[in-house]
Structure 1
Amino acid sequence: MDHANRTWTQSFILAGFTITATLQPLAFLGALCIYLLTLAGNLFIIVLVQADSGLSTPMYFFISILSFLELWYVSTTVPTLLHTLLHGRSPISSAACFFQLYVFHSLGMTECYLLGVMALDRYLAICHPLHYHALMSGQVQLWLAGATWVAGFSAAVVPASLTATLPFCFKDMAHYFCDLAPLMRLSCVDTGWHTHVHGTVIGVATGCNFVLILGLYGGILKAVLKLPSAASRAKALSTCSSHMTVVALFYGSAFTVYVSSPGSRPEGTDKVIALVYAFLTPFLNPIIYTLRNKEVKEAMKRVTDRIRNILKGL
Structure 2
Amino acid sequence: MDKENYTEVKEFFLIGLSHYPALQISLYVLCLVMYLVILLGNSILISISILDPRLHTPMYFFLANLSFLDICYTSSSIPPMLVNFMSERKSISFTGCALQMVISLGLGCTECVLLAVMAFDRYVAICNPLQYTIIMNKGLCIQMASWTWMLGFLYSLLLTLLAMMRPFCDNIIDHLACEILALLKLICGDISLNVFIMTVGNFVFLVIPLLLIFFSYVFILSTILRINSSEGRKKAFSTCSAHLTVVILFYGSALFMYMKPQSKETKTSDELIGLSYGIVTPMLNPIIYSLRNKEVKQGVGKILTRRLYLRKI
* TM-score under structure 2 length normalisation: 0.94
Asked whether the 8 Å contact 2:62–2:118 carries over to 1, the reply is yes
Is 1:253 the equivalent of 2:245? no
**2-structure distance, mates of 1:22, 1:227:** 55
Superposition pairs of residues 212-227 of structure 1, within 5 angstroms: 212-227=212-227
**Aligned residue pairs, count:** 313
Offset of 1:2 from its aligned partner? 2.5
Letter in 1 for 2:54: G
Aligned to 1:168: 168
Structure 1: gaps of 5 or more residues: none
Aligned to 1:101: 101
Aligned to 1:285: 285
Offset of 1:26 from its aligned partner? 4.1
Aligned to 1:158: 158
Offset of 1:192 from its aligned partner? 4.2
Structure 2: gaps of 5 or more residues: none
Asked whether the 8 Å contact 2:18–2:24 carries over to 1, the reply is no
**2-structure distance, mates of 1:150, 1:18:** 36
Offset of 1:59 from its aligned partner? 0.4
Asked whether the 8 Å contact 1:106–1:154 carries over to 2, the reply is yes
Offset of 1:142 from its aligned partner? 1.2
**1-structure distance, mates of 2:264, 2:249:** 22
Q: For 1:262, what is the secondary structure of its paired residue?
A: coil
Asked whether the 8 Å contact 1:203–1:259 carries over to 2, the reply is no
Offset of 1:42 from its aligned partner? 0.7
When structure 1 is superposed on structure 2, of 126-135 and 22-31 the one drifting more is: 22-31
Letter in 2 for 1:138: K
**2-structure distance, mates of 1:29, 1:273:** 18
Letter in 2 for 1:295: E
Aligned to 1:304: 304
Q: For 2:130, what is the secondary structure of its paired residue?
A: coil
Aligned to 1:141: 141
Offset of 1:228 from its aligned partner? 0.6
Letter in 2 for 1:219: F
* TM-score under structure 1 length normalisation: 0.93
Asked whether the 8 Å contact 2:119–2:216 carries over to 1, the reply is yes
Asked whether the 8 Å contact 2:31–2:279 carries over to 1, the reply is no
Superposition pairs of residues 53-64 of structure 1, within 5 angstroms: 53-64=53-64
After superposition, the CA RMSD in angstroms is 1.9
Offset of 1:206 from its aligned partner? 1.5
Offset of 1:88 from its aligned partner? 4.3
Q: Give the share of equivalent positions with the same residue, in percent.
A: 38
Offset of 1:134 from its aligned partner? 0.9
Question: What does the per-residue CA deviation read over 1:102-153, in whole Å, with 9 as the maximum and x for residues that have no partner?
Answer: 1111111111111111111100100000010011111111111111111111
Letter in 2 for 1:66: L
Superposition pairs of residues 185-196 of structure 1, within 5 angstroms: 185-196=185-196
**1-structure distance, mates of 2:231, 2:265:** 46
Letter in 2 for 1:133: T
Question: What does the per-residue CA deviation read over 1:254-300, in whole Å, with 9 as the maximum and x for residues that have no partner?
Answer: 11111123228754443211111111111111111244212211222
Asked whether the 8 Å contact 1:174–1:271 carries over to 2, the reply is no
**2-structure distance, mates of 1:58, 1:236:** 16
Aligned to 2:3: 3
